[in-house]
């Protein structure tokens, strides 16, 4: 950590003659740290002095790491005095529930808190101060285990600091959940929201309904991209999945409790539950006629198979399920989902319609409110509090519900807050870890756009556009991992780490103690800790993002990396960048046909991936593109996109037509336009239905020179690929070329997402 970074943060109150690298790299950043010029060394004679068995268990969570790595087993004493070489835990009733203070001198360490939560957090801080090797499995009998002398006083910003894991789409084994919980504890996350149920698998054993796991936990084996997976056929073997037995659940809940993490189960209703309906199909509306199975993918029209709100046996079933769930989870909360319920079957269902009539329910949205309120009454009777996604705000919110704001920037949560409901901010754009965490060319395929480590770090979750009367209802924040594109626990870790650390600092630390430069200085110690713990963390923060803009008939290249300490060095002769290659200082113009290779260097050392940009050569490079499409300028920048439709190199047009006019600047000769279409059936990206090409000398009167149509059969190809077409029309002399492109139209029956709006996308207009 540099001195400058510390001064910028304003955290360090006193800085004695330390060499900068000896300061502690703690995440989340504590409220207050004062450094002293000394250090404490742990050795085999170090004693731990505790007041009770609870503290002893907390201490053991760290002392056992010494046993594994340092090879010594310290004495833990219940009470007693020690003037030196001791870690002493002392209750201080004056501290808040999760607060702690840590005073480290050369002689001893005194950790104070008022509750076991505070003691646990203090021990985690101590763990972070130790060399990264403490987190590993390697015995290092000759290592020195020292920590710098400090005085820390610390407490969290938010009471609720949550992490959600979806184990329906990817079933994560018990041991890997434990590894994850261990890291949550390290980051002072105190709630684990366990998304146990979804269309793609029911993951919790329910004794009264054994088919939930015998049938509901297993899906058909599809090897293609999640969004492209067809629904199961009747009788097709379902072999992929798994579930947690009730003993597994108890084990996880216990393991989490030992780490001061409360586990909140989520049992989805009324939607996202083809898994339970596959087991008990009578629980959906009688109008549903499709084959109900556990969905291996998005499900298309089958996502509309939801619980029938007019059938009382649905409520009996759910109350029975929740009874077993409540017995397994001591949490005060039960999350019931409530999101994304398509109500087309409710509209047609005689039972649902009869329910609405009997209860004077004006519409299907309010029928959802009836559904959730009925479940809420049951939970309240059992002294549990209901949690749900922000769709609960779209109709009358059940009494006492806590709302998770997820859609967009999660502002529906504040709307609940206005009405006095407690809420948690979990905006998809910032806290959904399935999004790309870096320049997309280097990332595994997923949905949506980018949320980098820096994006998460810099997001301020407390929305001050709302008055204090609203924001006082904000309990905290939550990061979520949906596992559509996860095929192993390592994949999950890659998406979670290190972004969880940026999230954790937003959850725990005060905004005035947050600083991106300081965080980046600290993250390298945290990732070293991950490495020793065997966590598969992403190194995306070292990759380079690019922007190639057309301006003044030229292509201007901007390169960016999120780390303030990174230098970008590049070559234009196809060689690999080294630490003596040209230093990137500001955007520069690139000639067509050039290959730019760039890489990050920190302290002369190479990091991250090499960005290789192969600029094409053609007659429209740098030409102005006139269009109402926002980023049409990239169509003549000489760069092709990747298979990732959101990598910034595609112009995507959804559910409408589009036109592009290329202005070559002066009359030129050309024979063809070559276009690559991004085909991604799962995302309903297809060939257009029609393409018309015309030319003009004045930009107003155009003459049509080419028409291409694609039949339904040609358009709706299955797969994920680049479809390059060259449209040849014979030699032309003109200044302007117009392309008019018609949308592919609704997807046909038999499509993986039938009867759905479509899009087309193109990355370059290659004029030759
Ligand atoms: C959600 O992402 N459907 C809560
Ligand atoms: Zn119904």
| Atom of ligand 1 at shortest range from CA of 340 | 3
Q: Which residues contact 312 (CB under 8 A, 6 or more apart)?
A: none
pLDDT per residue as tens digits for the range 238-256: 999 999 999 999 999 999 9
* Residue of 339, 387, 394, 405 best suited for mutating to test ligand 1, as the one with most atoms within 8 Å of CB: 339
What's the confidence (pLDDT) of residue 22? Answer: 58
Helix (H) or strand (E) holding 712: helix 712-715
| Atom of ligand 1 at shortest range from CA of 482 | 2
Helix (H) or strand (E) holding 368: helix 364-381
**Cα-based distances in Å from 293 to 173, 302, 345, 765:** 23, 9, 17, 44
Q: Which residues contact 504 (CB under 8 A, 6 or more apart)?
A: 27, 28, 161, 187, 188, 189
CATH 3.40.50.970 fits domain 624-767: no
pLDDT per residue as tens digits for the range 400-451: 999 999 999 999 999 999 999 999 999 999 999 999 999 999 999 998 899 9
Q: Which of 152, 86, 77, 144 is nearest to 121 (CA)?
A: 152
Q: 112 forms bridges with which residues in the sheet?
A: 90, 101
**Proportion of the chain above pLDDT 90, given as a percent:** 96
Q: How remote is the CA of residue 310 from the centroid of ligand 2, in Å?
A: 5
Return the domain boundaries, the chain: 23-154, 160-532, 543-614, 624-767
Q: How remote is the CA of residue 339 from the centroid of ligand 1, in Å?
A: 6
pLDDT of 38 higher than 70: yes
Q: Angle at which helices 516-533 and 116-129 pack, to 10 degrees?
A: 90
pLDDT per residue as tens digits for the range 493-529: 999 999 999 999 999 999 999 999 999 999 999 999 9
Q: Is the CB–ligand 1 distance for residue 339 below 6 Å?
A: yes
pLDDT of 222 higher than 80: yes
Class of domain 160-532: alpha beta
Q: Is the CB–ligand 1 distance for residue 432 below 6 Å?
A: no
Q: How remote is the CA of residue 615 from the centroid of ligand 1, in Å?
A: 39
Q: How remote is the CA of residue 406 from the centroid of ligand 1, in Å?
A: 7
What's the confidence (pLDDT) of residue 2? Answer: 41
Burial class from Cβ neighbours inside 10 Å (0-12, 13-18, 19+) for residue 136 reads: middle
Q: Identify the nearest ligand to the CA of 412 by its number.
A: 1
Q: Which of 324, 79, 378, 375 is nearest to 206 (CA)?
A: 324
Going along 270-384, which residue ranges are E strands? 333-337
Q: How remote is the CA of residue 374 from the centroid of ligand 2, in Å?
A: 16
What are residue 76's phi and psi, to 5 degrees? -110, 120
Q: Which residues contact 284 (CB under 8 A, 6 or more apart)?
A: 277, 292, 305, 306, 307, 308, 345
How many Å apart are CA 220 and CA 237, to the nearest integer?
Answer: 6
The architecture CATH gives domain 23-154:
2-Layer Sandwich (3.30)
- Which protein residue's CA is at the shortest distance from atom 1 of ligand 1? 339
How many Å apart are CA 479 and CA 431, to the nearest integer?
Answer: 5
- Which protein residue's CA is at the shortest distance from atom 3 of ligand 1? 339
Round the CA-based radius of gyration of the chain to a whole number and report it.
Answer: 29
Token output for 730: 């014979």
Q: How remote is the CA of residue 272 from the centroid of ligand 1, in Å?
A: 10
What's the confidence (pLDDT) of residue 452? Answer: 98
- Confidence band of 396 (pLDDT split at 50, 70, 90): very high
Q: Identify the nearest ligand to the CA of 478 by its number.
A: 1
Q: Is the CB–ligand 1 distance for residue 404 below 6 Å?
A: no
What's the confidence (pLDDT) of residue 79? Answer: 82
Q: Identify the nearest ligand to the CA of 482 by its number.
A: 1
Task: Lowest mean pLDDT of 5-14, 367-376, 590-599, name the range.
Answer: 5-14
DSSP secondary structure string for all residues of 535-600: -----GGGS-EEEEEEETTEEEEEEE-S-TT-EEEEESBSPPP-TTSEEP-S-EEE-TT-EEEEEE
Q: How remote is the CA of residue 279 from the centroid of ligand 2, in Å?
A: 17
| Atom of ligand 1 at shortest range from CA of 428 | 2
Could you tell me how far CA 675 lies from the centroid of its own chain?
A: 33
Which DSSP symbol is given to 753?
A: S
- Which protein residue's CA is at the shortest distance from atom 2 of ligand 1? 406
DSSP reduced 3-state for 40: strand
Mean pLDDT, to the nearest integer, of 333-347?
Answer: 98
Half-sphere exposure of 594 (CA within 13 A, CB side): 19
Q: Is the CB–ligand 1 distance for residue 389 below 6 Å?
A: yes
**Proportion of the chain above pLDDT 70, given as a percent:** 97
Mean pLDDT estimate for the chain: 95
Q: How remote is the CA of residue 428 from the centroid of ligand 1, in Å?
A: 8
Are 560 and 544 spatial neighbours (Cβ–Cβ below 8 Å)?
yes
pLDDT per residue as tens digits for the range 665-679: 999 999 999 999 999
Q: Which residues contact 704 (CB under 8 A, 6 or more apart)?
A: 692, 693, 694
Are 767 and 752 spatial neighbours (Cβ–Cβ below 8 Å)?
no
Q: Identify the nearest ligand to the CA of 286 by its number.
A: 2
Mean pLDDT, to the nearest integer, of 225-229?
Answer: 95
What's the confidence (pLDDT) of residue 14? Answer: 35
pLDDT per residue as tens digits for the range 475-486: 999 999 999 999
Q: Which of the following CATH numbers is that of domain 543-614: 3.55.50, 2.60.40, 3.10.590, 1.10.357?
A: 2.60.40
Mean pLDDT, to the nearest integer, of 575-584?
Answer: 98
Half-sphere exposure of 219 (CA within 13 A, CB side): 29
* Residue of 406, 409, 448 best suited for mutating to test ligand 1, as the one with most atoms within 8 Å of CB: 406
pLDDT per residue as tens digits for the range 271-308: 999 999 999 999 999 999 999 999 999 999 999 999 99
Q: How remote is the CA of residue 298 from the centroid of ligand 1, in Å?
A: 13
Q: Is the CB–ligand 1 distance for residue 406 below 6 Å?
A: yes
Q: How remote is the CA of residue 349 from the centroid of ligand 2, in Å?
A: 5
What's the confidence (pLDDT) of residue 9? Answer: 40
Are 626 and 663 spatial neighbours (Cβ–Cβ below 8 Å)?
yes
Q: How remote is the CA of residue 234 from the centroid of ligand 2, in Å?
A: 23
What's the confidence (pLDDT) of residue 17? Answer: 33
Mean pLDDT, to the nearest integer, of 342-347?
Answer: 98
Q: How remote is the CA of residue 629 from the centroid of ligand 2, in Å?
A: 42
Q: Is the CB–ligand 1 distance for residue 365 below 6 Å?
A: no
pLDDT of 8 higher than 50: no
Claim: this prediction has a pTM higher than 0.85: yes
Q: Is the CB–ligand 1 distance for residue 408 below 6 Å?
A: no
pLDDT of 4 higher than 70: no
Task: Lowest mean pLDDT of 11-20, 116-125, 197-206, 578-587, name the range.
Answer: 11-20
What's the confidence (pLDDT) of residue 192? Answer: 99
- Confidence band of 80 (pLDDT split at 50, 70, 90): confident
What are residue 561's phi and psi, to 5 degrees? -135, 145
């Amino acid at each position: 950590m540099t001195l400058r970074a510390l001064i910028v943060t304003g955290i360090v109150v006193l800085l004695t003659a330390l060499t900068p690298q000896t300061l502690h790299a703690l995440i989340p950043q504590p409220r207050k740290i004062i450094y002293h010029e000394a250090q404490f060394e742990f050795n085999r004679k170090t004693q731990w002095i505790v007041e009770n068995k609870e503290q002893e268990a907390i201490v053991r969570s760290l002392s056992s790491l010494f046993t594994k790595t340092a090879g010594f087993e310290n004495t833990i004493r219940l009470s007693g005095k020690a003037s030196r070489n001791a870690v002493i835990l002392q209750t201080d009733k004056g501290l808040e529930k999760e607060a702690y203070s840590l005073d480290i001198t050369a002689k001893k360490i005194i950790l104070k808190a008022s509750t076991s939560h505070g003691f646990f957090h203090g021990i985690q801080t101590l763990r972070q101060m130790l060399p990264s090797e403490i987190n590993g499995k390697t015995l290092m009998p000759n290592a020195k285990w020292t920590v710098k002398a400090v005085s820390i006083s610390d407490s969290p910003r938010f009471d609720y600091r949550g992490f959600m894991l979806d184990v329906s789409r990817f079933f994560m084994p018990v041991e890997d959940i434990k590894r994850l919980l261990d890291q949550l504890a390290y980051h002072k996350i105190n709630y684990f929201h366990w998304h146990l149920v979804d269309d793609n698998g029911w993951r919790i054993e329910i004794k009264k309904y054994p088919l939930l796991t015998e049938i509901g936990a297993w899906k058909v084996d599809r090897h293609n991209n999640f969004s492209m997976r067809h629904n199961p056929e009747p009788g097709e073997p379902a072999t992929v999945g798994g579930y947690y037995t009730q003993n597994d659940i108890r084990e996880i809940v216990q393991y989490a409790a030992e780490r001061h993490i409360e586990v909140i189960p989520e049992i989805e209703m009324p939607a996202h539950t083809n898994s339970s309906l596959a087991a008990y199909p009578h629980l959906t509306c009688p109008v549903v006629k499709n084959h109900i199975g556990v969905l291996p993918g998005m499900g298309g029209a089958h996502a509309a198979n939801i619980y029938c709100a007019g059938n009382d046996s649905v409520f009996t079933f759910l109350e029975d399920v929740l009874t077993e769930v409540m017995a397994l989870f001591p949490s005060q909360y039960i999350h019931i989902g409530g999101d994304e319920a398509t109500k087309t079957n409710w509209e047609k269902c005689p039972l649902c319609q009869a329910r609405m009539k009997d209860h004077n329910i004006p519409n299907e949205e309010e029928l959802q409110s009836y559904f959730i309120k009925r479940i809420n009454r049951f939970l309240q009777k059992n002294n549990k509090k209901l949690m749900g996604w922000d769709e609960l705000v779209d109709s009358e919110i059940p009494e006492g519900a806590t709302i998770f704001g997820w859609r967009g920037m999660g502002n529906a949560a504040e709307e609940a807050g206005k009405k006095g409901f407690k809420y948690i901010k979990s905006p998809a754009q910032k806290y959904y870890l399935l999004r790309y965490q870096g320049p997309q060319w280097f990332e595994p395929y997923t949905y949506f756009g980018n949320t980098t480590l820096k994006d998460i770090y810099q997001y301020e979750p407390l929305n001050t556009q709302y008055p204090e009367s609203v924001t006082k209802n904000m309990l905290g924040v939550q990061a979520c991992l949906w596992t559509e594109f996860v095929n192993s626990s390592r994949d999950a870790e890659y998406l979670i780490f290190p972004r969880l650390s940026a999230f954790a600092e937003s959850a725990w630390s005060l905004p005035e103690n947050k600083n991106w430069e300081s965080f980046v200085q600290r993250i390298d110690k945290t990732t070293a800790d991950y490495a020793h713990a065997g966590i598969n963390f992403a190194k995306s923060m070292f990759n380079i993002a690019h922007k190639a803009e057309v301006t003044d008939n030229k292509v201007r290249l901007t390169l960016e990396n999120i780390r303030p300490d990174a230098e970008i060095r590049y070559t234009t002769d196809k060689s690999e960048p080294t630490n003596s290659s040209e230093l990137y200082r500001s955007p520069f113009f690139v000639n067509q046909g050039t290959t730019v290779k760039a890489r990050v260097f920190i302290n002369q050392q190479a990091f991250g991936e090499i960005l290789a940009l192969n600029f094409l050569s053609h007659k429209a490079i740098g030409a102005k593109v006139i269009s109402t499409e926002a980023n049409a300028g990239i169509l003549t920048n000489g760069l092709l996109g990747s298979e990732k439709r959101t990598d910034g190199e595609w112009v995507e047009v959804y559910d409408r037509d589009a036109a592009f006019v290329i202005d070559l600047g002066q009359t030129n000769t050309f024979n063809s336009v070559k276009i690559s279409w991004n085909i991604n059936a799962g995302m309903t990206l297809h060939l257009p239905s029609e393409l018309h090409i015309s030319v003009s000398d004045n930009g107003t009167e155009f003459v049509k020179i080419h028409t291409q149509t694609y039949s339904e059969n040609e358009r709706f190809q299955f797969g994920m690929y680049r479809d390059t077409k060259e449209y040849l029309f014979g030699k032309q002399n003109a200044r302007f070329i117009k392309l008019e492109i018609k949308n592919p139209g609704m997807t046909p029956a038999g499509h993986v997402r039938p009867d759905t709006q479509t899009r087309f996308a193109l990355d370059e207009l290659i004029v030759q």
